[in-house]
Structure 1
Amino acid sequence: MKRLLIFTLILISLNSYAQTSQVFDAETVHSEILNMDRKYAVYLPPSYETSARSYPVLYLLHGGGDDQTGWVQFGEVQRIADKAFDDMIATEMIIIMPDADTGKRGYFNTPDNTWRYEDFFFEELVPYVENKYRIKSEKRYRAVAGLSMGGGGSYFYAMRHPELFSSACPLSASVRNYDKETLKSWLDRTNTTYTEAQLNTYLEKQSSLRMLENADLDAIKKVKWYFSCGDDDFLYEGNSLVHIAFRQKEIAHEFRIQDGAHNWTYWRTELPNVLEFVSDTFHQK
């Protein structure tokens, strides 16, 4: 009986110290730039509540038609991250998932700068969450990834700010290479205003290969890159062209064409690989 009592007390003690991750999918930050409150989701790893340490961070961007809950609801980020950490293929990290589908859809400023989401992301969201949570704020401990529209966001964010990210993982990325007339037609369909000069500037900033031609290659090479796209994905060609351009520029990167299409089945399968890849950049060699 005494042994049974001791065993029961041990179980109670272990359960009281059980570590579980947490996800909050309706957090808000006020944006002066966008003149509104913006939502985001956050994943806090299992040890967050029972430790005083700081953590690396992954900014995980959703695709078109989703919001900050996309990776939580459909991407099953909590289950997948928990398993990756439990299996020790990835190190514990905080994951921030911002909403880019309120007001206007997308991760970038408009050509006329009347909507400045990209400025909001870097000037308001990143400082806010890295102050609110115990996040390591050095480049080495910051990564960005995303799918589809968010894959394009992760590509352009890391290309434009290689000093901020240790790694970038565009999945099924929207990295189209617009010609002027195609871009103009798309902007007109979305009722976006612009001058001819603004159109020309926007074309240079939003075409993936043009962006690469004008990039600081030494800085870009200091980012660890992981590209992945399904072999049945309609964005396969654009991703392949970026891969070829990276090879031509001698930019080290991982490029994976896997069996799959443009869907959550593919992205859920890839998320553990993303967590493992970014974790490798967080570690000391």
Structure 2
Amino acid sequence: MVRSWAAVLSVVVPLSLSGLANAGSISNNSFQSPALNGPLAVNIYKPDGNAPQGGWPVLYLLHGHDGNENSWRDLGDIQATLDRLIENKTIRPLVVVMPGVTNSWYVDSGAVGGPGDYEMALTRDLRHQIENSLPVRKDREGRSIAGLSMGGFGALHLAYSHKDLYGAVASLSGAIWQNVPSSDLDKSPAELKLIEDSAFFHKVDRSTITSGVVLPSTGDHFSGAFGTPFDARLFNEKNIFTLVSQSIAEDEVLPATFITCGDDDSFFLWRGAVALHETLQAGGRPSELRITDGDHVWSLWKTSIVPALQFIDAQWDKTEEIAKD
């Protein structure tokens, strides 16, 4: 049985007590999402003390593939990190919302038989629940989104699809791939898999090697989010690079973007990180890139979340605009 949002919001589970004088708390919650026609589980970090006038800023923090709402709490030790940074005044107090979305890739996929309409569940249902139940800011610059791996893709997709909602976005080892070229749109997932790595490096001659397209990995990890079998056209439609290109063509403002990835990432995701940064920079859009030492592991994300939080904190003071629902 799913308890009402109001009933569970006050249930606080003390975790990872840091011993700091002003330690925050994490509550485990669940509520009924109309977009999903079912429950959505979410953990919420709430800082100690009273909210400032206008409310706390809020960060939506997304998990990776095979993760859930507990990932950042249990594996990322996020409470201790937030408590420490707030106590040291490295960042200001904020609410952090950590939803569990299965392997949905943070897109709406109900129409193609995928995991469900999680994009609408997060950008509409969850956002309204948070803003109606907690003293948080409701303006674009008081709301940010970040995530790791699949959640890095999700954070970028949601931020660029809903530019009026988020002032900043951070991707940690994000699953970032360029669009499938038009010449390859009708290839099967198996055929795309064969050219995935060979397409990145091209040997022009004995002394010339050039980089190519960063193609998406087409394994079963997409869980039907982009159709079954994988539909390259649908992927391109929802992909980050399409959204960036459209925004640049229409001269629209994009959220300030922070991208970080390990140089030893076992999925070679630094390729997409560099490609996205280059695209944003070429389009005159704000972007920060950090390639650090590390693999696709929690020991890296527990560290790289710190500069991401500092980057996000720097955006809270921008001009406020209330999103029109």
TM-score of the pair, normalised by structure 1 = 0.83
Aligned twin of 1:226: 258
Aligned partner of 1:40 among 31, 39, 42: 42
Q: CA deviation at 1:172?
A: 0.6
Partner amino acid for 1:44? K
Q: Work out whether residues 111 and 199 of structure 1, in 8 Å CA contact, stay in contact via their aligned partners in 2.
A: no
CA pair 132-240 structure 1, distance change in 2 beyond 3 A: same
Partner amino acid for 1:258? T
Aligned twin of 1:4: none
Aligned partners of 1:249 and 1:56: how far apart in 2? 28
What SS is found at the alignment partner of 1:47? coil
Aligned partners of 1:277 and 1:97: how far apart in 2? 19
Where in structure 2 are the equivalents of 1:256-271 lying within 5 Å?
Answer: 256-271=290-305
CA pair 183-140 structure 1, distance change in 2 beyond 3 A: farther
Aligned partners of 1:265 and 1:210: how far apart in 2? 32
Q: CA deviation at 1:20?
A: 2.9
Aligned partners of 1:69 and 1:193: how far apart in 2? 25
Query: Does residue 1:252 correspond to 2:286, yes or no?
Result: yes
What SS is found at the alignment partner of 1:72? helix
What SS is found at the alignment partner of 2:119? helix
CA pair 108-283 structure 1, distance change in 2 beyond 3 A: same
Query: Does residue 1:207 correspond to 2:211, yes or no?
Result: no
What SS is found at the alignment partner of 1:220? coil
What SS is found at the alignment partner of 1:281? coil
Q: Work out whether residues 148 and 174 of structure 2, in 8 Å CA contact, stay in contact via their aligned partners in 1.
A: yes
Aligned twin of 1:158: 159
Partner amino acid for 2:90? I
Q: What is the Cα-based RMSD across aligned positions, in Å?
A: 2.7
Aligned twin of 2:146: 145
Post-superposition Cα deviations, 1:238-274, rounded to whole Å, max 9, x if no partner, equal: 1111111112112121111111111111111011212
Aligned partners of 2:253 and 2:148: how far apart in 1? 20
CA pair 94-191 structure 1, distance change in 2 beyond 3 A: closer
Post-superposition Cα deviations, 1:48-92, rounded to whole Å, max 9, x if no partner, equal: 4x8787200000001011100000001111100011111111010
Q: Work out whether residues 153 and 176 of structure 2, in 8 Å CA contact, stay in contact via their aligned partners in 1.
A: yes
Q: Work out whether residues 163 and 219 of structure 1, in 8 Å CA contact, stay in contact via their aligned partners in 2.
A: no
Partner amino acid for 2:84? K
Using the TM superposition, name which of 178-187 and 111-120 deviates more. 178-187
Q: Work out whether residues 21 and 44 of structure 1, in 8 Å CA contact, stay in contact via their aligned partners in 2.
A: yes
Aligned twin of 1:3: none
Aligned partners of 1:193 and 1:63: how far apart in 2? 17
Query: Does residue 1:21 correspond to 2:24, yes or no?
Result: yes
Q: Unaligned regions of 5+ residues in structure 1, if any?
A: 1-17
Partner amino acid for 1:203? F
Post-superposition Cα deviations, 1:157-214, rounded to whole Å, max 9, x if no partner, equal: 1111111111101111111224235785648884578599x94652333333233222
Query: Does residue 1:136 correspond to 2:169, yes or no?
Result: no
Identity of aligned residues (%): 24
Q: How many equivalent pairs are there?
A: 262
Partner amino acid for 1:229? C
What SS is found at the alignment partner of 1:30? strand
Aligned partners of 1:191 and 1:159: how far apart in 2? 22
Partner amino acid for 2:75? F
Q: Work out whether residues 169 and 225 of structure 1, in 8 Å CA contact, stay in contact via their aligned partners in 2.
A: yes
Partner amino acid for 1:21? G
TM-score of the pair, normalised by structure 2 = 0.73
Post-superposition Cα deviations, 1:78-118, rounded to whole Å, max 9, x if no partner, equal: 100011111111010000000011xx533111273552111
Aligned twin of 2:314: 280
CA pair 218-93 structure 1, distance change in 2 beyond 3 A: farther
Partner amino acid for 1:110? S
Q: CA deviation at 1:215?
A: 2.3
- Structure with the larger helix share: 1
Aligned partners of 1:193 and 1:265: how far apart in 2? 30
Aligned partners of 1:90 and 1:235: how far apart in 2? 28
Q: CA deviation at 1:231?
A: 0.6
Q: CA deviation at 1:147?
A: 0.4
Q: CA deviation at 1:36?
A: 0.9
Aligned partners of 2:156 and 2:81: how far apart in 1? 23
Aligned partners of 2:235 and 2:303: how far apart in 1? 33
